Amino acid sequence: MNSQLEQVLKKQQNQQHAPQESEIENVVQLVGFMVGDEEFAVPILGIQEIIKPIEYTRAPKTPPYVLGVFNLRGSVLPLIDLRMKFGLSRSKENEDTRYMVIKDNDEVAGFVIDRLTQATRIKESAIDPAPETLNDEQNLIYGVGKQKDKLISILNVKALLKRDF
Amino acid sequence: MDEFEEILEDFLVEAFEMIEQLDNDLIELENSPDDLDLLNRIFRVAHTIKGSSSFLNFDILTHLTHHMEDVLNKARKGELSITPEVMDVVLESTDKMKGLLEHIKETGSDEGAIDVAPTVRRLEAILNGGSAEEPPAAEPEPEPEPAQAEKDLSEMSEEEVEAEIERLLAERQEEDRKRREAKKAAETAGEAPSAEPEEKDLSEMSEEEVEAEIERLLAERQEEDRKRREAKKAAEAEAQKSAPEAKETPKSEAKPAAPAKKETKAPPKERKTTVEQTIRVDVKRLDDLMNLIGELVLGKNRLLKIYDDVEERYEGEQFLEELNQVVSSVSLVTTDLQIAVMKTRMLPIGKVFNKFPRMVRDLSRELHKEIDLIISGEETELDKSIVEEIGDPLVHIIRNSCDHGIEQPQERIEKGKPPKGTVELKAYNEGNHIIIEIVDDGKGLDPDMLKAKAMEKGLINEKEADQMSDKEAYMLIFKPGFSTAAQVTNVSGRGVGMDVVRSNIEKLNGIIEIDSEIDKGTTLKLKIPLTLAIIQSLLVSVQEEYYAIPLASVLETVRITPDEIQSVEGRSVLRLRDEVLSLVHLADLFDVERVFSMGEHAYVVIIGIAETKIGLIVDSLIGQEEVVIKSLGEYLKGIEGIAGATIRGDGRVTLIVDVGALMELAKNVKSSMENLEDRSEKREKSSPADYNVLVVDDSKTDRSIMRKALEPLGVTITEATNGVEALNLMKEGSTSFDAALVDIEMPRMDGYTLAAEIRKFNKFKMVPLIAVTSRTSRSDRMRGVEVGMTEYITKPYTPEYLMNVVARNINLNVEQTS
């Protein structure tokens, strides 16, 4: 755990000390997380908070990926299972599971993710539009961020919060 | 022009308030035309509006109010008696005033809005017709200087102010002269001295005094002007502040003589100045505050629950007493705070009632009826949002009572009733509701006539009509397209019916009741909740889920056994007394997963809206609870059958059902009790390894001792180190455990709590829980039984004993394995 933390800190420091040119270019800050075996990311500005799983109440007459509603300090928010939303099997809760509370204007909802990975900065120029084949009608993918060793799918916050039933 | 706009705004607010008052006072005046105080008050209102509007250059408004004022002045001197005809014209001019003010509000000018000429001509006619001994109507108002002084100085340049003062001075002198003349002439008129307190200050002053007064005024004005110029240099924010101040100063300083007298002689005017101190607050801020309080209340509820848990666990400990004190004081203060904030949103219903005297008066003249409106309970308070909504329905109801209820005087006399009909409007509190009653002593409703009419219009059929009770027949008047008026009058033919009333009241979660007796009258009772945010609800549970049903829609609840449910055409029905109710299981409506079959009893909640009702089967009734309604947010808005959510004391979310939508849903759901058992099929256990036993203990040693002891059985063992972990393992459901061995003392969640939590789940009701502990006292054992432990083993134990207990509980034959 400790060594991981150190690594993360080091990474953050590196990012802070990163050459100034990245500041000049538009940089997007992302929070990465795992859903299934794939890594996704959401712009940090779209995230209200990330909490550990708490109890929720099932809401009837909703699609299966809407798990229900939960109480976040007095507000009732919908809880959406991203795995099911992406057509995977239902999430099994473990100690890495988090609820990511995503907010766009007045619309707020919690999303179940399997595990947080890391916060990254990525240049806007390094983000490609989502490939045609990936781009379904829901427009969930905003783009694909290219990093040194991997690709990361950036989700569209507005589309996530859009009701589609 | 910021300052001007601010002044205009103040003027409008003030003027609207005054006119509202004016309306009521005028009606009152008609009933007691000799009330001089009242007359004076009315006169002053007209006068003030005239003064301010002339300053703001609203010529048309000034013109109108000026004539009105003249008429009133005459009346107040006793030279004109207030007849209904005079009152009609005066009321007409107040209406015009309102119209003009509305126009000013929208466009900032009173030009081209409303033609006041006819009204003014009529006012003049009254004036001339009624005047005999007094000089003609053009007599200037007796109190010009306060009015003009009210003109705001901030708008004028210095020269203008100078000019204004010059004019004022001249006017005063002129006036004074006139007054002296008038006084001589009017000596015979015998006016009551209290009738004109303002006049005194002038008429009693000598000319020199008046001069001195004007000198003083002038000096004051200059001083003020100087101040204003300084203020103008200040920042804009300050400039804004100075505007209201500036407006006040001339008022208070320029009227030094008049108010002094008024305070003693004119109490009605004083009322205005002694009104309790208030500040205007944006409603949104109150809403925000209300939300915060809502969260606080939830926090308090949680605290209370936690306290209960703690009390149970640490019974008799010293700190409990202190904790108790803190918890109860926090809860007390929170409750008080909640009430206090709710009260800030409350308005007296008088705000709405105020407009009805005028309306009834107009209606009675229009319909040639004599109607008395008696209002009581106008101080009863309601939430602001409800006060806003309640006005329209009441207008319709009262209009209806006047038009259709009260008969013509002739008819009333024939019936042996006094010719003057009464409509009573009263409001009072009853529990968490406010009741508004509209009672008339008119001809009442005839249920047979109503039914015939409804049939004629095709709203009901003959069979329905026969079965209808009188009360149900009365409710027909709320059907859209229903009108009992034989002919369409100006009053009832406005295209807004009683169905609007009903939908509006229902929107407020209110209930309407009608009671009527032919030729005696009709009573309409509106029952409205005090606030929209909190409702009374019946909490029910279905399997593991809880739902709140608004109590207003619950007719009754009954307990039934499964064999009381009968089947008609594949639908479940219940015979309840003489009725056959169609039944639907809440679990079917909401697709609740059925983990546990129906017990010996089920409960039927009978819900109804208007004429239809159905029975809703639930597993158990939790109780009645006051719940705070929370919205589900954009994402889940309008899901079928759910009206909103609430957060309960334990912090969990409970959904509130939408009874109307539920009844719609029920039409399409076939309920059957049989499918209850479908899911309970058990996996065949062929070998001991198919049995899963959960071992919960924080000590590794203890766990391995238990594991060793159970080894001979050959069962599969899963270990958990504390209650929370164990509970999660069970809930997750990937392995279904056949028994659990539970230690009592564990970190995070102890054995008692774990057992209680497990027993909350229907599907774990039958799982054997075996306590393995060194706590041996009787009370510990009792506690274990209470929370649902099946067996209680005290340490130390022999491995054989443990093995046998487990084997017995999971029905595993020991011989088979050995």
Q: Provide the b/e sequence for B122-140 (b: ≥16 CB within 10 Å).
A: bbeebbeebbeebeebebe
Looking at residue B142, its pLDDT comes to: 41
Rounded (5°) CA angle B149-B153-B158? 120
Q: Residue A73 and residue B633: Cβ atoms within 8 Å? A: no
Looking at residue B279, its pLDDT comes to: 78
Q: What are the residue boundaries of the structural domains of chain A, listed by start?
A: 2-160
Dihedral angle sign, alpha carbons of residues B744, B750, B753, B757: negative
Q: Residue written as tokens 């889920």? A: B545
**What percent of chain B has pLDDT above 90?**
2
Q: Which residue of chain B comes nearest to A73, CA vs CA?
A: B295
Q: Provide the b/e sequence for B578-612 (b: ≥16 CB within 10 Å).
A: eeebbbbbbbbbbebebebebeeebbbbbbbeeee
Query: What integer is the mean pLDDT of B766-773?
Result: 84
For the record, the structure tokens of B48 come out as 């003030």
Looking at residue B260, its pLDDT comes to: 39
**What percent of chain B has pLDDT above 70?**
75
Q: Residue B636 and residue A62: Cβ atoms within 8 Å? A: yes
- Chain B residues close to A108, C-beta within 8 Å: 633
Edge-to-edge strand list for the sheet holding B716-720: B716-720, B692-696, B739-742, B769-773, B791-794
- ipTM, two decimals, is 0.79
Q: Residue written as tokens 């008080």? A: B336
- Bridging pattern class, strands B692-696 and B739-742: parallel
User: Which pLDDT band, with edges at 50, 70 and 90, does B678 fall under?
Assistant: very low
For the record, the structure tokens of A156 come out as 């569209």
- Whether A136 shows a pLDDT value over 90: the answer reads no
Looking at residue B109, its pLDDT comes to: 74
User: Which pLDDT band, with edges at 50, 70 and 90, does B165 fall under?
Assistant: low
Query: What integer is the mean pLDDT of B540-567?
Result: 86
pLDDT mean across residues, chain B: 75
- Chain B residues close to A77, C-beta within 8 Å: 633
Q: Which CATH number fits domain A2-160: 3.40.5.90, 3.55.40.20, 2.40.50.180, 3.40.50.2020?
A: 2.40.50.180
Query: What integer is the mean pLDDT of B396-424?
Result: 86
Range from A65-79, B106-120, B702-716 that averages highest in pLDDT = A65-79
Provide the 8-state DSSP code for B112: T
- Whether B655 shows a pLDDT value over 90: the answer reads yes
- Chain A residues close to B732, C-beta within 8 Å: 92-93
Please check whether residue B298 touches A, CB under 8 A.
yes
Please identify every residue of B annotated as catalytic.
47, 69, 400
Query: What integer is the mean pLDDT of B5-19?
Result: 77
Query: What integer is the mean pLDDT of B566-591?
Result: 83
- Chain B residues close to A58, C-beta within 8 Å: 545
Dihedral angle sign, alpha carbons of residues B496, B501, B503, B507: positive
- Bridging pattern class, strands A151-155 and B521-529: unpaired
Global pTM value: 0.48
User: Which pLDDT band, with edges at 50, 70 and 90, does B156 fall under?
Assistant: low
Q: Compute how many other C-beta atoms are within 10 angstroms of the C-beta atom of residue B279.
A: 4
By the 10 Å C-beta count (0-12 exposed, 13-18 middle, 19+ buried), B491 is classed as: middle
Task: Report the DSSP beta bridge partners of residue A103.
Answer: A108
Q: Residue A57 and residue B645: Cβ atoms within 8 Å? A: yes
CA of A12 vs chain B CAs: smallest distance (Å): 34
- Domains of chain B: residue spans and CATH: 2-274 (1.20.120.160), 283-345 (1.10.287), 348-445+484-529 (3.30.565.10), 535-679 (2.40.50.180), 688-817 (3.40.50.2300)
- Whether B344 shows a pLDDT value over 70: the answer reads yes
* Cα→Cα distances B237→B2, B21, B152, B240, Å: 11, 34, 19, 5
- Whether B368 shows a pLDDT value over 60: the answer reads yes
Q: Which residue numbers of A have CB closer than 8 Å to B's CBs?
A: 55-62, 66, 68-71, 73-78, 92-93, 106-109, 161, 163
